[in-house]
Structures are given as structure tokens and as C-alpha cells.
Amino acid sequence: MPVLSKEEIEKFYEFCKKSINTEVASYLEACVRCGICAEACLFYMGVNVSGRIDPSLTPAYKADLLREIYKENYTLFGKLKKLLGFGVRISPEDLREQVKLVFYTCTNCDRCTKACPMGIDTPKLVSIVRGALTHAGLTPKDLANATNLSIEKGSPLGVDIPTFLQRLEFISEEYEVEVPINKKPSDYLYLPSSIELMKFPSSVAAAVKVLNRTGINWTMSTVAHEATNFGLFAQSKEVTREMLRRVLEGAKELGVSYIITPECGHAYQSMRFIAPNIFPKDWTFEVLNIVEFIDRMIDKGRISIKRKVLKERTTLHDSCQIGRRGGVLRESRRILKMLAEDFQDSVLIPEHNICCGGGGGVLVIGEADQYRQKAFISKMTLFDKVEAKTVVCYCANCMLALTKGNQELGRDYRFVSIVELVAEAMEGEE
């Protein structure tokens, strides 16, 4: 990290100060330092497995600097301390630690919130600190580059419109599927992620097969061609809004009523929950994750699972943003029970599943690798507990993170897409 100026520190401070409303203040006041959130955090648990306890990885600790800024500006005791010359002093080292805490060792998975007896939304507090660091120009370089590419090229992987069309042409020919593009009017718009297009084209092909089998009137768009939104990771309101504006423009142009998000966690979060607040009058679409959509189509009899395609012991990895934060947890399990002969859930309560370790932009930050690798140990314990080698996923970013952890720690798990399994299971005899 470059040498920090007084101006950058002041930018961080002022952003935090202005972001504190009554909701945030209630969270900052409510923490009783009980430590329960520590054992809910995969990064804290992962480091502990290696035999070293790092209390700074406790979720509550990640909001401590924000809490001090709150006290100084909004409590009597804090104001008195400032008047007496004992106010908050933020050093460059403090901000370097904040980068580690909120960008390297937090995926905003929300597991700590579910464990907190006070219901504190720690991801919201972490997001404020991320936004303050971005405002001060301190976003990790790898994440900043990917975010800038999103604006310049339309995708964090540089997938512009010509590349988008080339990839769809390849998928159409390679997997022998018909892909409608810019077909209007259409009822449904399906947005793939650039991760799928470039790294998991078979997943896109599977989604196309499923969509075509349902008989619905659907299309893809060259305007709304990217599902991911790295503005959420950097906590840049400007980038978040612009990426969603492009989706809105494409969807309105095609006259769709439904938007189907792909196997991508934060894509669902951005379009299902954030977009309606940014565009309250214009965002009139019903947003469905592809897993929700499949579950609905099975229920309506538009598609059918004709055979079990998994014979071995199988478990499920939940996308935190689609599952725990988005509420899509039962649908994936209903589908997987139709696909697998031996499905064993790795958690008693679906909301308690552990993050892949690469969400929230952590996967793209090279300097976060050492923390991500230790965090994968926490996830690995769940797979081992049910003695499963095949793990079904419904997020491409999760697939990447889990595959990397699998290779780095020398394990032999097999990760598969639930949409690909559905496409396979639609074929053949019952």
C-alpha cells in the first residue's frame, strides 16, 4: 500500500461519519462483546485450526474503528474526550489493518449476523468501512482493476459485446444449443456472468437447455450482458448504480417481466434486493435466481427430472448471497434430492452453511490468498463430516474458490453445477 496522506485519512473518517444513521448507530451500540460471532466466522475458525488464535478476525472487532468514530461524533462521552484532546487518531497503520480486516478476511457471508444474539448486521458495518476505504482510494489493486474493467469493458473479466457474442456463438456450436439474443418482445431475460462465459461455458449451455425446454419466451441481451456487479465488492455506489442501470436499460428495451440471474451470488443480491431501492419506479421486474426458476418450472410441470445422475455420496454447498442472505435454500435441496441417490446435507440448518471463502471479492485479491486458504479448512470440515467427495454448487464464484482451495490443500473433492445436473437429468428414461 502506498504512503497515506492526511487527506486520505480524513476522507476515510468523513465517509464513516456520514454513513452513520440510526440503524447503524443501533448496531454499534448493541454489541456486548460476547464473542459468539467469532466461531461463526470462517476466517477466524480457519486461522484457529492452524493453532494460532487471532482475535482481530472476530467480526465484532472489524467494526471497532467505525464504532470509535461513532462515539466521538454522536455520544456525549465521546464528544467530551475529543474536546479534551483524546479524540480518535487514525494512523496509516490503522487503515492498512482495516484493508486486511474488511477486504481480505470478510466475504460478507452474513453467518455472523445469524449467530449474533443482538441481531447486529456486521456485513453492513463492514460495507461502510469498505466504502470509506474505496472513497479514500485504498481499494486493493486487484479488486480496483476488476471494478474499473466492469465500467470500461462491461465486465470484470473484460468481456465486451463482441467477446460476449463470440462466446455465445462458441457455446451454441460446441453444445448444440439455440441461444436467442435481443429477441423482443420477450417475457424473460437471462443474464450469464462473465465467470461462466469464460471459465464454465458448460454451465451457460446447461442453462440454455433448461430455458429452451420450458417453452417460455426468453432471450439474452447485448445491453444487459453481465450479471456480476463489482461495485458491491468495492462498495462504490457509482459503479453499483451504473452496472444495474445497464441491466435496467436492456430489460426495458426487450419488454421483459422477469429477470433470471445465473449461478452467481452477488448478481442475485444486486438485482433482487439492491436495484429496487436504486430504481424504485423503474425496476418492475420479478427477479429469480436460476435455481428458483428451475424449482418453479418443475412444480409447474414444464420440465421434469427423469433420472438420478449422481450415484455417489453427495452434499451441497450453498451460495451465501443466494442462500443465507437471499433465502433460496429449500429449492436447491428439493432439486438435489431428485438428482442424487445419496444426498447428505452437511449442516442441520441450511442457514448455517459455511462460505466458500472467496466471496465479497476476496477471490480476486491476491494478497488475501493466505487467509482464503486457511478459511477453506473450515469449509472442508463439513465435506469430510458427511464423507462426501462430490459437492453440488449453484454459484460460479464459489466453484472457482472451492476448486482453488481443493488444489492448494491437495484434496480430491469434485465440484459440479446444479444447473448442469438438471440439464443432464432432463434427458433419458425415468
Predicted confidence (pLDDT) per residue in 125-174, tens digit? 999 999 999 999 999 999 999 999 999 999 999 999 999 999 999 999 99
Q: What is the pLDDT of residue 1?
A: 54
Question: Is residue 310 helix, strand or coil?
Answer: strand
Cβ neighbourhood burial of 104 (10 Å; 0-12, 13-18, 19+): buried
Question: How far separated are the first and last CA of the chain, in Å rounded?
Answer: 58
Check pLDDT > 80 for residue 50: no
For 104, residues 6+ apart whose C-beta sits below 8 A from its C-beta are 140, 362, 365, 367, 368, 371
Residue 54 pLDDT: 85
Q: Which pLDDT value is given to residue 430? A: 39
What is the reported pLDDT for 48? Answer: 73
Residues in CB range of 118: below 8 A, 6 or more apart? 30, 31, 32
What pLDDT does 84 receive?
86
Q: Which CATH code is given to the segment(s) 142-299?
A: 3.40.50
Angle at 141 between CA 136 and CA 144, to 5 degrees: 70
Label residue 324 exposed, middle or buried (CB < 10 Å: 0-12, 13-18, 19+). Answer: buried
**411 pLDDT exceeds 90?**
yes
Confidence class of residue 83 from pLDDT cuts 50, 70 and 90?
Answer: confident
3-state secondary structure of 296: helix
Per-residue pLDDT at 427: 78
CA distance 99 to 133: 7
Query: Looking at the chain, how many residues does it have?
Result: 430
pLDDT band at 81 (very low <50, low <70, confident <90, very high): confident
DSSP, collapsed to helix, strand or coil, labels residue 187 as: coil
Cell numbers for 272: 433482487
Percent of the chain past pLDDT 90, that is, above it, reads 91
Buried b (16+ CB within 10 A) or exposed e, 211-241: bebbebebbbbbbbbbbbbbbbbbbbeebbb
Name the pTM for this structure: 0.93
Spatial CB neighbours of 300, under 8 Å, sequence gap ≥ 6: none
pLDDT band at 51 (very low <50, low <70, confident <90, very high): low
Cα 279 from chain centroid (whole Å): 21
Please give the pLDDT value at position 423: 97
Residue span(s) of the chain under CATH 3.40.50 come to 142-299, 310-425
Calculate helix-pair angle for 161-174, 201-214, nearest 10 degrees.
70
Strand pairing category for 188-190 and 218-219? parallel
Closest to 306 (Cα-Cα) out of 429, 214, 207, 417: 429
Question: Which residue is associated with the grid cell 449474533?
Answer: 116
Across residues 115-121, what is the average pLDDT? 95
Range of lowest pLDDT (48-52, 131-135, 286-290, 387-391): 48-52
Answer whether residue 49 shows pLDDT above 70.
Answer: no
Q: Just give the CATH number of 6-138.
A: 1.10.1060
Q: Which pLDDT value is given to residue 6? A: 84
Partners of 289 in beta bridges: 261
Domain 310-425, what architecture? 3-Layer(aba) Sandwich (3.40)
Question: In the predicted model, what is the mean pLDDT of residues 249-265?
Answer: 97
pLDDT in tens, 274-293: 999 999 999 999 999 999 99
Q: Tell me the β-bridge partners of 342.
A: 313
As a dihedral over the C-alpha atoms of residue 75, residue 77, residue 82, residue 87, rounded to 10 degrees, the angle is -90
CB 64 within 8 A of CB 77: no
